[in-house]
Amino acid sequence: MTALAELDYIVYLDAEGQMTDQFDGKVGVYAIFDQEKILQMIGYSRDVGFSLKQHLVRQPQSCYWMKVQTIDRPSRTLLEEMRAAWIAENGSVPVGNAAGEAMWNQAIDAKLTMTAEELAIYEASDDPGKIKTLKKVARRVEEEVLAKLDARGVKMPIRFDPKLKEKGLLNL
């Protein structure tokens, strides 16, 4: 098991606004750092590349650097042990593993941003009307997220799951 301090920082986005594809489909543990290289979150995944992209979409202002340790054989126990060791090495639990965990790991819930008008329309609607309202709200929030990603310099294509928009959720 490699110590977090022994791993090199990897830039989240290259000069062209793209993420590296070297971790796509790879199993491993990863640490995400902000612009000042302050640890924000430690996670593990069966597809590190996809998880890193999800985190960028959810927390674009906190994703500037990463450190990644891949493993050859998936083992939840090993992954959890590595994550725990990195958190211990850090000396404190990063915000993305504590109070801010849902913002890092859960789909973006557009329903939380409903205006009073949208909420009134939603509550007065039948089921198809509710779905239509949720999709409209999700598209509005999607535009806001994409604008934040553009401001952050992201140039890679981002596509949200269209089925989840019917539930007012945004996830890749």
Which residues have C-beta within 8 Å of that of residue 147, sequence separation ≥ 6?
none
Do 92 and 112 reside in the same domain of the chain?
no
Q: Is the pLDDT of residue 12 over 90?
A: yes
Q: What angle do CA 89, 102, 165 make, to 5 degrees?
A: 145
Do 48 and 120 reside in the same domain of the chain?
no
Average confidence (pLDDT) over 89-108 = 95
Q: What's the pLDDT score for residue 30?
A: 98
pLDDT band of residue 33 (cuts 50, 70, 90) is very high
Residue ending a domain, among 54, 85, 105, is: 105
* Alpha-carbon torsion (58, 87, 35, 26), positive or negative: negative
Average confidence (pLDDT) over 136-164 = 95
The number of helix segments (H) and strand segments (E) in the chain equals 6, 6
Q: Is the pLDDT of residue 74 over 90?
A: no
The answer to whether 52 touches 30, Cβ cutoff 8 Å, is yes
Q: Is the pLDDT of residue 1 over 90?
A: no
Domain span at residue 137 reads 108-170
Do 114 and 54 reside in the same domain of the chain?
no
Average confidence (pLDDT) over 70-88 = 94
Do 128 and 62 reside in the same domain of the chain?
no
Residue ending a domain, among 74, 105, 136, is: 105
Do 100 and 113 reside in the same domain of the chain?
no
Do 90 and 33 reside in the same domain of the chain?
yes
Residue with tokens 């089925």: 163
Strand partners, 108: 170
pLDDT band of residue 167 (cuts 50, 70, 90) is very high
Q: What's the pLDDT score for residue 73?
A: 86
By C-alpha distance, which of 73, 63, 77 is closest to 30?
A: 63
Per-residue 3-state assignment (H helix, E strand, C coil) for 62-124: HCCEEEEEEECCCCHHHHHHHHHHHHHHHCCCCHHHCCCHHHHHCCEEHHHHCCHHHHHHHHH
For 55, half-sphere exposure in the C-beta direction (CA atoms, 13 angstrom radius) is 30
**Strand 65-71 relative to strand 10-11, pairing:** antiparallel
